[in-house]
Amino acid sequence: MDKNKAKKRIEELNKLTAYYAKKYYDDDNPEISDFEYDMLMNELKNLESKFPEFVKADSLTQKVGGTVKEGFEKVNHVVPLQSLQDVFSFEELYSFDERMKKYSNSLKYVVETKIDGLSVALEYKNGKFVRGATRGNGQVGEDITENLMTISNIPKELTENIDIIVRGEVFISKKDFDELNSKQDEENKYANARNLAAGSLRQLDSNITASRPLDIYIFNVQKSDTVKFNSHYESLIYLEKIGFNVNPIKILCNNIDEAIKAIEKIGKERESIPFGIDGAVIKVDDLKLREEIGTTFKAPKWAIAYKYPPEQKETILKNIVCNVGRTGVITPMAILEPIVVAGSKISKTTLHNEDFIKEKDLKIGDHVIIQKAGDVIPEIVKSLKEKRTGTEKDFKMPTKCPVCGAKAVREEGESAIRCIGVECKAQNLRNIIHFASKEGMNIEGLGEKIVEQFLENNLIDNIADIYYLKQADIETLKKDGKKFAQNLINAIETSKNNDLDRLICALGIRHVGTKSAKVLAKTFKSIDKIMEATLEELMAVEDIGEIMAKSIYEFFKQDQTKDLIEKLKNANVNMQIKENNKYDNRFEGKTFVLTGSLEKYTRDEASKIIEEFGGKTSSSVSKKTDFVLAGEEAGSKLVKAENLGIKIITEQEFEEMIKL
């Protein structure tokens, strides 16, 4: 590869790995498998070693991938929580051993499982647990002490009164993960146990953390002032003795050959290991020798991680069926000839969307290769085209919802196909909750739990049924529920008189929010006029783009929508703009940019006020910006506004502008 191509590819890989690392470490929502990510990182490392002049300081080969989540206190790690260099072959392990032999000819190694979870540091003073933190970027983590306190296997007090900092991995066992996932619908299944554990630990509400079956294994002494150790293996045995839940798989090896045999043994037995692993770790046992060998900024030189390839099996794709999730997304599901992969019997797996099926060139009846991504989620890797007999059948995504028969739509730029039926039973709960929400009809008292009860007790079947509820029916749902029922009936009655824009927003039309609902109400004056509008007329409305216009047009052409509107009319729900509602458009045609911290308003609140007065808000300053509302600690946006000569207003000036 020439220099120009190498430079371009390194730049691409830096962007890709940064994006996927953010999804994995910070959002706890991975988009690719661990194996695919490892291959990208490996390619980047190899290119950077050949072309070191293109290595950037922010490359993930030079640092740990996580960041500190907003809402947690920062913790500066006394000893950095480093990551490990990954290898994918035994040849690379022998090369590692050759490097270690430069320091000593009498090497012992400890081989441990690389647990697939979230790395944390636990600090003890005088034997008592005082603080716990995530790895973060290795140097600075998040203080999650309160959340870690909810994990029963973290000792709150040790059997010896020592000062010590240890490192461990928080995880969810395979059994507990499967049980949790069995309660989720297909669209909302958790991607893998690692990210569920990480997401659970990084909750701002520790009650959520406590509700998840989190466990921990300790695998290292980070700092010990009270007790000194000569070897890593010795330190692990001591940690067990004083009350820590230490990684149960730790094998002391006299040389590299024994270490590789241990790694092979773990690989053969990983199906039966009760927790997820994404490799095996080999570490120099002698702690003094470790100090001599040293570390890089990112990783220790005395340890390395061997990554196992995902186990793959062949089976038959018997059929493809479609499920409809709560948000209306229609997801194709592969029905497979049952087969055991990585310890689990697999009979079905998601095919994600239409593009995935085309990309993999899948046909019903195909022989396919499947694996478990991260040893957890089953996925189809490829079809075996050479085994086709001609009896295989093509699959086409439905054009109508398999649950309610409404139109199934795929919008431009999206991979998902959605049901747009407003009365679709698969979406009922979500649709009704949104209809009653503050952004919608603002029916006080009609929250998610009450809606669930109404549906479970067959008191309502769709949105319109809210307006036909009887007080006597509601009373039966709560002990001494008479007052609650009366208040709810009153709130429902009050909502009938809401202005038109609230109703439009409450209907849950895709892409239509409070701002665009006001625009539609102001332009068309009534629901009937919106329903009669052509696509061209909708597209001609200011601030209603082509995608939104198509969404509105398709929504109101559905029989289900017409049926719902008719039921709401019969219940005397207001369908027209109120003539006495005079829109104050003092900011019409004006664009505001908000920067810094405001004292009396959140940015959302200030933006809402601007929009209510007909103005717009933007996230970036340009020549089209009319005002920059600057709070404390305003940054680069303020500087740019000054350079462009744009009017900068204070919060006090803003309040003067919005006075009635």
DSSP 572: T
Q: Are strands 627-630 and 128-134 parallel, antiparallel or unpaired?
A: unpaired
- State the alpha helices, DSSP H only, in 558-597: 559-570
User: Taking phi first (over 0 means left), then psi (-120 to 50 degrees means alpha), and beta for anything else, what does residue 126 get?
Assistant: left
Spatial distance between the Cα atoms of 338 and 315, rounded to a whole number of angstroms: 8
Contact (CB, 8 A) for 330 and 402:
yes
Q: 539 to each of 45, 289, 549, 557, how far by Cα in Å?
A: 49, 71, 5, 16
Spatial distance between the Cα atoms of 82 and 64, rounded to a whole number of angstroms: 7
Beta carbons within 8 Å of 256's beta carbon, 6+ residues apart:
93, 94, 96, 97, 107, 109
Tokens 């069926």 belong to 321
Active site residues: 114
Q: What angle do CA 384, 389, 394 make, to 5 degrees?
A: 75
For the record, the structure tokens of 138 come out as 């290795």
For the record, the structure tokens of 441 come out as 């009809």
Widest CA span in the chain? 90
Spatial distance between the Cα atoms of 129 and 161, rounded to a whole number of angstroms: 11
DSSP state letters, 450-510: HHHHHHHTTS-SSGGGGGG--HHHHHTTSTT-HHHHHHHHHHHHHHTT--HHHHHHHTT-T
> What is the per-residue burial (b if ≥16 Cβ within 10 Å, else e) of 410-421?
beeeeebbbbbb
